[in-house]
Amino acid sequence: MKIVIIDDNQKASADLQKKLGKFPFAQVEGIASTGFSGLELVMNVRPDVLFLDVELPDISGLDFLERSSFLSSGECRVIIYTSYDKYILPAFRKRAFDVLLKPIDPKELDTVMERLQESNDEPVDTKQAPITNNNKFLLYTNNVDFTLVDKSDIGLFSYDTDTRCWEALVAGFKKPIKLRRTIKGDNLLALDPLFVQVNQKFIINMNYLVEVTNNVCKFFPPFDKIDYVSVGRIYRKKLREKFFNL
């Protein structure tokens, strides 16, 4: 996996290069300190992965993404890494593969590199599943619209058989957030171990589960009015295990 780093902070880029050294499948092929020199480097190396800072001396990293057809074509996965969380949503808007906040948490880097390795032979499509960054979920609702929510605010996901798509019930939202049809139950379960499937139509956040009475889930507020989530027979054992391990 060929990697290029673009960052005007030499200490930060050197630290990232050192952290990437632990991954045997990754090789840093070059480092640039400005956007335009980085653009030339990217076109020469044609990396598999680009770690891109946002605040560069000559051009914004977000604007940089629009300067190269190589990047926009999806041939290279771009990881935005920045000190400012205000860039998280704009980065995903520009089709970044993921976002890391400085100083980089080694565990977060492990997660990103694992995703990169798993998707190495797959075409890039960042809209096929919800995107995660720390505790934020970027949920695409259609081809162009999306919303950024906290993991802790999602009470459950429900499957609408009429529209054949999953919906997220989120604290603070009056209506369920309808997700793209391409998002599958397995995508949602992979977001966090706290999400557990209780029947074919419902995936719940265990942090909101109070009890199961007469085979029906009871939840903490603001989801305490929900009384229709029953537990399927084949899901009971795993739900009990999760509940008692919290």
| Contact predicate 82/54, CB 8 Å | yes
Closest CA to 70 of 98, 38, 31, 105: 38
Q: Give the pLDDT of residue 7.
A: 96
pTM over 0.95: no
User: For residue 179, with 0-12 CB atoms within 10 Å meaning exposed, 13-18 middle and 19 or more buried, which class applies?
Assistant: buried
Q: How far, in Å, CA of 29 to CA of 50, rounded?
A: 10
**CB contact at 8 A, 219 and 230:** no
Torsion angle of C-alpha atoms 10, 78, 49, 72, degrees rounded to 10: -130
Predicted pLDDT of residue 132: 55
Write out the chain's pLDDT in tens, 246 residues: 999 999 999 999 999 999 999 999 999 999 999 988 998 898 889 999 999 999 999 888 888 877 765 665 567 899 999 998 888 888 877 778 889 999 999 999 999 998 888 776 544 444 445 555 556 676 665 544 567 788 889 999 999 988 888 999 999 888 898 887 778 888 888 888 899 999 999 999 999 999 999 999 999 999 999 999 999 999 988 888 887 775
User: What pLDDT score was predicted for residue 131?
Assistant: 54
